[in-house]
Structure formats: C-alpha cells, structure tokens
Amino acid sequence: MERSIAQLLQLESFTKSEIVELLSSDGEDKVQLFKKSAAVKEKYVKNKVYFRGLIEFSNICEKNCFYCGIRKTNMHVRRYNLSDDEILHAAKFAFDNNYGSIVLQSGEIQSPVFTKRIENLLKKIARFSGNKLRVTLSLGEQSYKTYRQWFESGAHRYLLRIESSNPELYKKLHPNDELHRFERRLESLKILKDIGYQTGTGVMIGLPFQTLENLADDLLFMKNFSIDMVGMGPYIEHADTPLFQYRQMLLPKEERFQLALKMIAILRIMMKDINIASATALQAIDKLGREKAIKIGANVIMPNVTPGYYRDDYALYENKPCTDENPEDCISCLEARIALSLNKIGFGEWGDSAHYNNRMGKTETNQDI
C-alpha cells in the first residue's frame, strides 16, 4: 500500500527506498518535508545558529581530486600559505568578536613539519583564549599519531568529508592510487571517532554519475556511523578540473540546490541532534541559500575570517561567494541574514554537537567566552 508523504514523515526511521521517495518530493510534498525538518530542528537543537570562524590558511595540496580547484596539478592556481601570525590574527579576530569556535582548513598535507606547525598553532590559540575558543580542524587524512597529537593539543572537532559513501562513485572522483583510496578515507573517520573527536563528514550533492540511490546511501552511512556533525552542499563544477568534462551530465544548478536542501531536511529528521552546517556553496547558487538551509534544518554557519587578499585563491569551485568582504562586513551581513531566518546566533557559545555529548555521556555545556 502506497503511503503519502505525510504518512512517511510520521516514521521514526526511513529505508533507502523511502529516502529516495523523499528526495524526489516536489511541490506540496516538499513543503511538508521542510515543515517537518524545521519542527525537528526547533525541538532538538533549538532555533540557534553557531558561528565557526573559517580560516582557509593554505591552498597547497598534495591530493589530485578530480573535482577540486586547488588540486595539486592545477597550474592556474596562485598558491598561498598564511604565516602563523596571520592565522593567529584571524583567530584572535574571531575570539574578540565573540565567536565560540573557529575552523582551520587547508589543502591536504602530510609531513612532520606540517603536523608540528598545527600543534604549535593549537597551543597558541588555547593560550591566548584561555581555552575558551573551540577549534575544528579540516586538514584531510592523517596518521593516528598525528590525529592524537592534535587532539591532545586542543583540537576537539574534525571535519573529513567522505565525499561519497559509494566506493565506485568515489573512484570516479579521484585518481586510482594509494593516496586516494576510499578505504583510507573511511579508516581515517573511524580513527577520529575512536580518539574522541566530535567527528564530522559530508558529501557533494548533484555530482556526475550520482543517483538518488547513492544519496540515500550517503544519509544511511551517516546515520549508521553515528556521525556528530555534517557539512554538505551542492556540487559546483570548476573549469580547471577533470570532472568538468562531464558537465553535460549535471542537473541544472537550481535542481542541485533544491536537492541539497532536501538532503539537509531528511538528515535533520533522521539524526535529530547533530550539528549541520549551512554550506557556502548554497549561496553560490541562491543569494539566500544559507538562510534557506538554516530555516529547514542547518544550525551552523561558517563566516570567513581569512584575510580578504587570499580568499579568491581558495577556490574549490567557481563563483565562490563573499570573497570581496572583509571579516567585519561578513559579521554584519550574517547577523542580518540569520535574523531573517528567525534564528538567533549563539554568540560566545561552543555549540558542541548534542549528538556527541549524548553518545559520550557528557553533560551539555554552552561555554561563554
């Protein structure tokens, strides 16, 4: 017996086929989906948005992922690497402006020098903030020893996107070599969780070769892995990448945008107490993209506090928004945008994942800075 969307949304969990049905929803069915996810968000994580000051400190990368604009062999990129002082200045800006946390993000590098540099930065950030500024790292695959070293130096969240939970699709996005193995990606996520990080992942939505069934599997992967936080958004092509040759296979950008919103909504219903980021890529398609994601389920936003001179060069995809703003403009803009979404900003709060606290048996804390 076929069920309506309203009946489907009464379920506590979804099968793969049910997720595909929800991803296919349109019109009034989509409205019902978004209404349900907004209600779940309000009940379980409240209408509050947490800032993560994003510091994209280097676009130097050892990887050659087929979708990425800063891939190693792209010779059209102006490479940069912020000094420690520039990174600490950006972190201090976030702290002084009452952000609860920051994200240190760069291209993927594995070396003793890089490991030590991040360790030293973490200790300096902890020192000047009195351990009051949470740090999320998004620095790719590393060894157990490196992850442990960074955790013990003050990083307690880590974002490592699986990109696709389907091994065959993953292979279409990466070179077939030891540096780009799906199994290695998966093992890194397991290590992060075992060490005790608040562990985050994410996927690209609307890729060439990707099906709704693949996306349903992605959501089930996140659920089964018991992930703490998610950052996912629409795939946006970049002309200087091998995947660009398949652009004729892509859905129109507006359809990719709507599909990304549905992924966020469904995940919010499936994993009620996790943190979900409203990705900047949403705004690259729709000027109100990040606000729309917040209204239907996202509860984290990442204002870019990277010095403006470098922002255009951290181009994972084309038409990246907000590269011409300085950090002060970004705050004012986001405050207005979040107010429009009828949410409030959790200034001075860590905004730790409630899911993480629950699975670790920790008491929820909202540390004021």
Q: For the chain, what are the domain ranges? A: 14-360
Contact predicate 215/230, CB 8 Å: no
Q: What is the pLDDT of residues 196-214, one digit of tens each?
A: 999 999 999 999 999 999 9
Q: What confidence tier does 326 reach under pLDDT thresholds 50, 70, 90?
A: low
103, 114, 276, 310 from 289: Cα distances, Å = 21, 35, 14, 24
Which pLDDT does position 364 carry in this prediction? 56
The answer to whether 25 touches 33, Cβ cutoff 8 Å, is yes
Percent of the chain with pLDDT over 70: 91
Pair 53, 302: CB distance under 8 Å: yes
CA distance 185 to 58: 21
Smallest CA-to-CA distance from 218 within 164, 266, 262, 168 is with: 164
Distance CA 105, CA 185 (A): 17
User: Distance between CA atoms of 243 and 359, rounded to whole angstroms?
Assistant: 38
Amino acid identity, position 157: R
Q: Kind of pairing, strands 204-205 and 48-58?
A: unpaired
> What band does 264 get if pLDDT is binned at 50, 70 and 90?
very high
Nearest in space to 68 (alpha carbons), one of 163, 187, 168: 163
Q: pLDDT grade, residue 368 (50/70/90)? A: very low
Q: Is the pLDDT of residue 156 over 70?
A: yes
**Where do the H-state alpha helices sit in the chain?**
5-8, 16-23, 27-44, 84-96, 112-129, 144-152, 167-172, 182-195, 212-225, 253-270, 280-285, 289-296, 308-311, 327-340, 354-360
- Identify the pLDDT of residue 369: 40
Give the whole-angstrom CA distance, residue 53 versus residue 302. Answer: 6
**Closest CA relative to residue 267, chosen from 300, 303, 230, 312:** 230
**All residues at 6 or more sequence positions from 145 whose CB lies less than 8 Å from its CB, including other chains:** none
pTM score, two decimals? 0.93
Q: How far apart are CA 111 and CA 124, in angstroms?
A: 20
CB under 8 Å to 212, separation ≥6 — which residues? 20, 23, 24
**pLDDT per position as a tens digit, 301-320:** 998 898 866 656 555 555 65
pLDDT of residue 342: 76
Band of pLDDT at residue 268, cut at 50, 70 and 90: very high
CATH homologous superfamily of 14-360: Aldolase class I (3.20.20.70)
Between CA 45 and CA 359, with CA 41 as vertex, the angle to 5 degrees is 50
Residues 6+ apart with CB under 8 A from 19: 215, 216, 219, 220, 266
* HEC readout, 108-164: CCCCHHHHHHHHHHHHHHHHHHCCCCEEEEECCCCCHHHHHHHHHCCCCEEECCCEC
For the chain, give the mean pLDDT: 91
Beta partners for residue 104, in sequence order: 55, 137
- What are the backbone angles phi and psi of residue 158, rounded to the nearest 5°? -145, 130
Q: Cα dihedral sign for 334, 337, 339, 341? A: negative
pLDDT at position 318:
58
Task: Find tokens 């943190």 and name the residue.
Answer: 275
Does 90 score more than 90 pLDDT?
A: yes
- Report CA torsion sign: 57, 128, 303, 186: positive
Q: Which of 161, 132, 199, 160 is nearest to 369 (CA)?
A: 132
Q: Do residues 289 and 257 touch, judged by C-beta distance below 8 A?
A: yes
Least confident segment among 106-115, 288-297, 329-338: 329-338
